Amino acid sequence: MKISLSKPAISNAELKAAQSVLKSGWLTDGPKNEQFEHSFAKYVGTKHAQTINSCASALFIVLKALNIKGEVIIPSFTFVATANAVMAAGAKPVFADIDFESGNVTADTIKPLITSRTEAIMPVHFAGQSCQMDPIIKLCRKHKLVLIEDSAEAIGSTYKNKKTGSFGIGCFSFFPTKNITTGEGGMITTNDKNLKQTIKTMISHGIAKNTKTRYNWQREAVVAGFNLRMSNVLAAIGLEQLKKLNKLNNLRRQHARYLTAGLDKQIVIPPSAKQFCKHVYQMYTVKVDPKIRNRLVEKLKKVGIGASVHFSPPVHQQKFYKKFAHQNLKNTDKLANSILTLPMYPDLKIKELDYIINQTNRLTHKLLEDRT
């Protein structure tokens, strides 16, 4: 049996939607983008949304649009794109430690890092579970800091029944491993109409569509912009994916419950679901003995299970970012050495889940016995 780590849930609906746009001839940013933005904002619970070509670009352009040049507090336990966006925007990343159980930053890990140079807090909702947002929001309000949510891994996740991306400025990913996909793509959510318009201009070469010119062919830049737009084709796919997001997330949650029930919790620690949070399991991550983790990943792959590790090394241990590693991130280091990602996607079958459970339990036991 061969089970991939992740698999997008693409159906005929997405194929027909893409084909329709291709036949229309309107391939770049167009009507489907506006429809996708409207539907996504409604789903998340914000007034506005803006399509973009990736979550990395979303994080970057939000920082640029707000002219943030000081310190931005982020977790080190994240994909490097989070830190790259901060650096590319001309700001400085400050790495916060995490809660070991959830992999998320907390107000307690963020608070000691706030200085007069801090301008923004960028929590990452890890693997499909929201951070505990109330205390983080309180910190932002107290210190007048911008809250930017890296929600790449948490589309549809909630904290106290409120969706991620609606607490601050939300940045989402539609990469093929995410809960819905457009292939490559992302979304920004906000309640600030002016910010939405500024970002829309910046990602379209700095040309504002509402700029008045004498002739209709004239295009005048009002800012030095970029081309970070999502195509009309991908937006059409995103619209179809969004229609079934709740169903896809429910399947992920169902699969996660099945895996958790079957794994030997004496040797494999399943992901924890925090109070007030709805976990949507963009990834299903477990913890194992660090002494066997690397070999376990390789052995799982040999029996056809597409296991992986998210994230090792954490960003502060990576060559370029070591110069920013001034804090003791003991939970980050501990989790990076023990975490293991098992396959998770909506189309998993019971026989595949059973195979994952049985092989993970068997190989973990064997590796631990071999060490004694």
- 230 & 267 share domain: no
* Residue that is last in its domain, among 210, 243, 276: 243
Give a yes or no: residue 2 inside a domain.
Answer: no
CATH code of the domain in which 321 resides: 3.90.1150.10
Radius of gyration of the chain, Cα coordinates, nearest whole angstrom: 21
DSSP string, 273-307: --TTEE---SSEEEE--HHHHHHHHHHHHHTTB--
Q: Confirm whether 257 is domain-assigned.
A: yes
259 is in which domain, residue-wise? 245-371
* Residue at 340 is within a domain: yes
Q: Do 223 and 253 have their domain in common?
A: no
Q: In this model, does residue 210 exceed pLDDT 80?
A: no
User: Is 292 found in the same domain as 175?
Assistant: no
- pLDDT tens for residues 4-39? 999 999 999 999 999 999 999 999 999 999 999 999
Please provide residue 317's backbone torsions phi and psi, each rounded to the nearest 5 degrees.
-95, -5
Buried b vs exposed e over 102-134: b needs ≥16 C-beta within 10 Å? bbbbbbebbbebbeeebbbbbbbbbbbbbbbbe
Query: Is the same domain home to 105 and 222?
Result: yes
The pLDDT of residue 218:
80
- Nearest Cα neighbor of 159 from 106, 113, 211, 111 is 106
Mean pLDDT, rounded, for 131-156: 98
* Sign of the four-CA dihedral 211, 214, 215, 216: positive
218 and 325 in a single domain? The answer is no
Q: Is residue 55 part of a domain?
A: yes
Q: What is the pLDDT of residue 219?
A: 83
- In this predicted model, what pLDDT tens digit does every residue of 211-258 receive, in sequence order? 555 567 788 899 999 999 999 999 999 999 999 999 999 999 999 999
**Amino acid letter, 338:** S
Domain annotation covers residue 7: no
Same structural domain, 138 and 165: yes
**Residue 301 falls within a domain, yes or no?**
yes
Last residue within a domain, chosen from 243, 267, 294:
243
208, 243, 278 - which closes a domain: 243
* CATH label of the domain that carries residue 210: 3.40.640.10
Cα 148 from Cα 75, distance rounded (Å): 13
pLDDT confidence of residue 214: 55
Mean of per-residue pLDDT scores for the chain: 97
**Same-domain status, 173 and 226:** yes
pLDDT for the residue numbered 371: 86
Give the chain's domain count: 2
- Which whole number is the average pLDDT over 324-339? 96
Among 130, 11, 148, which residue's Cα sits nearest to residue 86? 148
User: What's 339's DSSP letter?
Assistant: E
Q: Residue 147: enclosing H or E segment and its boundaries?
A: strand 146-150
Residue 5 covered by a domain: no
Check whether residue 213 and residue 351 sit in a common domain.
Answer: no
Average pLDDT, integer, range 325-347: 97
pLDDT at site 238 = 98
**At residue 209, does pLDDT exceed 80?**
no
Are residues 93 and 179 both part of a single domain?
Answer: yes
